[in-house]
Amino acid sequence: MNHYIITPTWNSGQDFLNCAASVILRTVQPVCWVIVENGSRPEEREIVEAYIHLNRHVGELATVSFVYLANQENVGIPRAQNQALDWIAAQDDGPYDVVFLDADTVIVNQGWLETMIQYAHDHPDVGMVGGAKCRNSHPPVVYYHTNGRWYVHNNQWLHPSSFHEGESVDYACVYLRPELLMRGIRFDEGYRIYDGHDQDFSFRVRSWGYRLWQIDPGVLHFPSSSMKKAGYQWPGGGKAEWDALRAKNLERFSSIWSPFLAPGRATVEEEILHMKRMNQKLVNEAGKRKEVPRR
């Protein structure tokens, strides 16, 4: 089975260099890394292009090979991810698996990819495995909605278990199992640029009967570094148009998934029990909604 990593880059040249150095050094499993350059400034784009050109053919013993797809403008994360998924599907009849990895990932530990693959292999009911942890060791931001939370990272990271179930996972590093890819799952490009598409994708996976788990294979992430370098403190506090885009994304997400949002529970155990019920509700009612796009 072939393995792929997908990474969109946007004004993240130095971050990508740091990420690539760690991935190449500590990835044992042979993997094809698909880079989608998403309309960066020329100086940032040149950093990524130069690195890939230098490392594209580094010998038969290389673990990581590169594919480079370039956009002249920022088409948004959902479309960039789909471009990579479409390229892979056109090249590989499958089965294959994919990891989404943010360009501002700081460190991956030895065996990070193998750990995620093995966990998914051992748990066939798990559709996605999240593997990222913020560099400051704090849990990711919890997005709130009037009917409940977008996902439940705050309780996940307090749980004494080493494995954590949730409505979604941290998309800085996500393993997607082959069965979903063979069914042609894609991101909803109706989400603009950034935010919301990942939670939407998680709910699609759950509506097909899979569970989502966050583990710790040793992947550290510096969240939203490219946004911060560009002057956008995300979420909120940045340029008004970015906040407006996020509001539209939330509206889109809410219009589709509000009935399936899990409200907060008193304990982690209650969260997990309620999550199982919500998963079943998603599966039961999937046929009553517009079918998830398949290819």
Nearest to 114 by CA among 100, 127, 99, 135: 99
Q: How far is CA 215 from the centre of its chain?
A: 14
Per-residue pLDDT of the chain (295 residues; tens, 9 = 90+): 899 999 999 888 888 999 998 998 898 889 999 999 988 889 989 999 999 888 765 544 568 889 999 999 888 889 999 999 999 999 999 899 999 999 988 788 899 999 999 999 999 989 999 887 765 544 443 333 333 343 434 444 444 344 467 777 878 899 999 999 998 999 999 887 777 888 889 888 988 888 888 888 888 777 655 555 454 444 444 567 777 777 888 888 878 887 776 665 666 567 667 767 777 788 887 655 545 444 3
Positive or negative torsion for Cα 25, 31, 37, 42: positive
| Identity at 282, one-letter amino acid code | L
Q: For tokens 């940032």, what's the residue?
A: 44
**Confidence at residue 234, expressed as pLDDT on a 0 to 100 scale:** 43
**Confidence at residue 217, expressed as pLDDT on a 0 to 100 scale:** 82
In this structure, what are the phi and psi dihedrals at residue 271, rounded to the nearest 5 degrees?
-60, -50
Nearest to 8 by CA among 119, 60, 82: 82
**Confidence at residue 285, expressed as pLDDT on a 0 to 100 scale:** 75
**Confidence at residue 214, expressed as pLDDT on a 0 to 100 scale:** 81
Under 8 Å between Cβ of 182 and 95: yes
Rounded-to-integer distance, Cα 170 and Cα 192, Å: 19
Nearest to 233 by CA among 221, 241, 224, 246: 224
Residue 276 makes CB contacts below 8 A (sequence gap 6+) with none
**Confidence at residue 78, expressed as pLDDT on a 0 to 100 scale:** 92
Partner residues linked to 8 by β-bridges: 36
Distances (CA, A) of 63 to 29, 30, 217, 239, 291: 7, 5, 19, 41, 38
Q: Per the structure block, which two tokens stand in for 91?
A: 């090249």
Under 8 Å between Cβ of 58 and 27: no
In this structure, what are the phi and psi dihedrals at residue 199, rounded to the nearest 5 degrees?
-60, -40
Rounded-to-integer distance, Cα 148 and Cα 262, Å: 6
Q: For tokens 């899979």, what's the residue?
A: 210
Nearest to 218 by CA among 103, 116, 100, 104: 116
| Identity at 202, one-letter amino acid code | S
**Confidence at residue 263, expressed as pLDDT on a 0 to 100 scale:** 60
Rounded-to-integer distance, Cα 64 and Cα 53, Å: 13
Under 8 Å between Cβ of 243 and 134: no
Rounded-to-integer distance, Cα 240 and Cα 220, Å: 30
Residue 176 makes CB contacts below 8 A (sequence gap 6+) with 97, 98, 99, 100, 127, 128, 185
Q: Which fold does the domain 2-288 belong to in CATH?
A: Spore Coat Polysaccharide Biosynthesis Protein SpsA; Chain A (3.90.550)
HEC letters along 232-261: CCCCCCCCHHHHHHHHHHHHHHHHHHHHHC
How large is the C-alpha radius of gyration of the chain? Answer: 18
In this structure, what are the phi and psi dihedrals at residue 35, rounded to the nearest 5 degrees?
-100, 125
